[in-house]
Amino acid sequence: MSERVSFAHLQSRSLIALGGEDWRSFLQGLITQDVETLREGEARFGALLTPQGRLLYDLFVVANGDGAWLDVEAEHRAAIILRLSMYRLRAKVTIAADETPVSILFADDGVPAKPAEGHWVADPRLPALGWRGYGVAAPAGAAVAGEAEREAQKLRLGVPGPADWGSDRTYPIEANFDLLNGIDFKKGCFVGQETTSRMKRRGTIKNRMLPLRFEGPPPAAGAEVLAGELRAGVVTSAVDGGGIGLMRLDRIEGAELTVDGRAARVEVPGWMAEVVTEPAT
C-alpha cells in the first residue's frame, strides 16, 4: 500500500437494504442512475429527485448479493425509507435500515490499492475519491482519519456534497451529477427525468458548483460572491481558505471576484475542464 493512505468511518452515511425479486425494476424507475446492469463489486452514484427535477437525496447503489445497499446521508435515511415505501405499491421489494458501517479509503495524492479483504467498491464519481467500504476495518498501513480529512480531500478535488446542494433547491446538473457519473441519460424514465433531460439537451446550464479559493476564515453558507457589483454566485460550503460556490458561468470569466469584501477566485478542476472554461486571473 502506498504512503499517505487514510481510512475513515463515515458517521454521516448509513445504509438502506433493498431486497426482493423486483428491487431492480422498482429502483430503476425512481433514481437518476441505471441499476439493471449493476453487478457484484460495483457501485453506482445517483439521486432521488422531486417530480420537478430538483435534488432531494444523493445515494450510492451498492450490489450486495441478491439485493443492494443504498448508501445515503444518515440524517435523511428515515425520510428516504418513507419516500421509497410510498412508491412501492405492489412491487415485490423489501426496504429496511441496515446498520453496517460505511467507511472510505483514500490517498492524499493518487489512488490507493484496493484492499484484498472486505467489501470494497470503487467510488464511481472519480477514481481519486478512492474506495468505499462496508463493514470493514482499517487496512494495514492506513492511517485512521476523521471525516473532516475526507471533506478536505473532496474540496481539493472540487467535488461538492450534500451540504452544498441541500434538499429540493438545486438541479442535479448544477451540482455536477452529469460530470460525476450520477445521471444515466440513456436509461428509461425516472422521477424528475423530463426537466433533467431538457436541461442537458438544450444546454441551458447557467449555474454550476465550482471550487472557490480565498484568504482567511470561511464565509457563511449563503454569502454572495460578487463580480464587481453583480451577483456571480453564492457560497454553499466553506472551510478556511476555500469552499464550493454555485456560480453563474456567464459572470466568472475574466471577472475580479470577491466574497465578504475579500478577493476570491474560481478554480476549475480537471474533470470539469471540458465544460467550464478556466477563468482568467
Return averaged pLDDT per consecutive 10 residues of the chain, 281 residues in all: 83 98 96 96 97 97 96 98 94 97 94 94 97 97 95 94 93 96 93 92 87 93 95 95 94 91 93 76 50
Count each helix (H run) and each strand (E run) in the chain, helices first.
Answer: 5, 16
Residues facing 95 on adjacent strands: 18
What pLDDT does 253 receive? 84
- The pLDDT tens digits of the residues spanning 175-204 come to 999 999 999 999 889 999 999 999 888 876
Helix, strand, coil percent content, the chain, rounded in steps of 5 = 20, 35, 45
The Cα–Cα gap between 56 and 53 comes to: 9
User: Which helix (H) or strand (E) element contains residue 28?
Assistant: helix 23-28
Burial 150-163 (b: 16+ CB within 10 A, else e): bbebbbebbbbbbe
- Name the DSSP letter for residue 78: H
Domain with CATH 3.30.1360.120 in the chain: 5-164
Task: Please give the CATH architecture assigned to the domain spanning 5-164.
Answer: 2-Layer Sandwich (3.30)
What pLDDT does 3 receive? 67
- Name the DSSP letter for residue 137: P
- The pLDDT tens digits of the residues spanning 29-81 come to 999 999 999 999 999 999 999 999 999 999 999 999 999 999 999 999 999 99
What pLDDT does 274 receive? 83
* Cα-to-chain-centroid distance, residue 1: 26
Cell of 226: 460578487
Query: Which residues have CB under 8 Å from 87's CB, separation 6+?
Result: 26, 30
What pLDDT does 2 receive? 46
User: Which helix (H) or strand (E) element contains residue 231?
Assistant: strand 230-239
Which CATH fold topology does 206-272 show?
Elongation Factor Tu (Ef-tu); domain 3 (2.40.30)
Domain with CATH 2.40.30 in the chain: 206-272
Model pTM score: 0.94
